[in-house]
Amino acid sequence: GAGVSQSPRYKVAKRGQDVALRCDPISGHVSLFWYQQALGQGPEFLTYFQNEAQLDKSGLPSDRFFAERPEGSVSTLKIQRTQQEDSAVYLCASSLTGSANTGELFFGEGSRLTVL
């Protein structure tokens, strides 16, 4: 596709439900990142993939958060037993280079999660 695609754009979950957020990066992009953005804040790093390898998951806030990119393309961020504090916009970004921090990031529009 022309850009990074994220789905769903909006998700409302009851506390305790599991959710899965999908990211379809730009074709051929090596690196994929997930960020969490609370209202009025900047994006906070969650995890980073280089192809199918998850090289850094230091930003995942708890073991309820899990991300995968099994074929080095589409990625899924899964949140188990959602809590109200998980309410945020989840942003996915991809980069052509394998570098974690020197390439230009292309962001999707985000998935807004609201946990009731």
Binding site residues, other proteins, CB under 8 A: 4, 33, 35, 40-45, 48, 55-56, 58-59, 91, 93, 100-102, 104-110
For other proteins, the closer of residues 47 and 82 by Cβ is 47
Minimum distance between the CB of residue 20 and other proteins, rounded to whole angstroms? 19
Tell me which residue has tokens 């921090």: 101
For other proteins, the closer of residues 44 and 68 by Cβ is 44
For other proteins, the closer of residues 77 and 91 by Cβ is 91
Phi, psi dihedrals of residue 84, rounded to the nearest 5°? -60, -35
Minimum distance between the CB of residue 42 and other proteins, rounded to whole angstroms? 4
Which pair of tokens denotes residue 9? 């754009």
Minimum distance between the CB of residue 115 and other proteins, rounded to whole angstroms? 19
Residues 6 or more apart whose Cβ sits within 8 Å of residue 42: none
For other proteins, the closer of residues 37 and 83 by Cβ is 37
Minimum distance between the CB of residue 35 and other proteins, rounded to whole angstroms? 7
